[in-house]
Amino acid sequence: MADNPMLLAVKDLGKSVPGPRLLFRTLDLDVAPGELVAIIGESGVGKSTLLNILAGLDEADAGRVVIDGIELGALDESARTRLRREKIGFVFQAFHILPYLTLVQNVALPLVLVSPDTGVAHARAQAMLKAVGLDGRSDGYARDLSGGELQRVAIARALVHRPALILADEPTGNLDPETAARVLSLFADAIREQGAAGVMVTHSAASAAIADRVLTLGLDGLVERRGR
Ligand SMILES: Nc1ncnc2c1ncn2[C@@H]1O[C@H](COP(=O)(O)OP(=O)(O)OP(=O)(O)O)[C@@H](O)[C@H]1O
Ligand SMILES: [Mg+2]
pLDDT band at 1 (very low <50, low <70, confident <90, very high): very low
Query: Structural domain of residue 186, as residue ranges?
Result: 31-56+86-225
Q: Look at residue 23 and tell me if it is in a domain.
A: no
> Is residue 163, in this structure, part of any structural domain at all?
yes
Pocket (CB within 6 angstroms of ligand 1): 17-18, 23, 41, 43-49
User: Is residue 38 left, alpha or beta, with left meaning phi > 0 and alpha meaning psi from -120 to 50?
Assistant: beta
Q: In this predicted model, what pLDDT tens digit does every residue of 160-194 receive, in sequence order? A: 999 999 999 988 877 788 878 887 888 898 899 88
Mutate to test the pocket of ligand 1, among 13, 27, 48, 204 (most ligand atoms within 8 A of CB): 48
Instruction: Quote the number of domains for the chain.
Output: 1
Distance 116 CA to ligand 2 centre (A): 34
Per-residue pLDDT tens digits for 68-89? 999 999 999 999 999 999 999 9
Asked if residue 80 belongs to a domain, the reply is: no
What mean pLDDT is predicted for residues 86-103? 87
Q: With respect to residue 71, please indicate whether it lies within any of the assigned structural domains.
A: no
Task: Report how far Cα 201 is from the mean position of its chain's Cα atoms.
Answer: 9
Q: Which residues contact 225 (CB under 8 A, 6 or more apart)?
A: 40, 214, 215, 216
Most confident of 4-8, 89-93, 215-219: 215-219
For position 147, which CATH number holds? 3.40.50.300
Average predicted confidence (pLDDT) for the chain: 90
Q: Is residue 11 part of a domain?
A: no
Judge whether 8 lies within some domain.
no
Q: Is residue 102 part of a domain?
A: yes
- pLDDT (mean) for 30-46: 95
Q: Name which residue sits closest to atom 24 of ligand 1, judged by CA.
A: 43
Mutate to test the pocket of ligand 1, among 49, 169, 203, 216 (most ligand atoms within 8 A of CB): 49
Kindly indicate the confidence band of residue 217, based on its pLDDT and cuts at 50, 70 and 90: very high
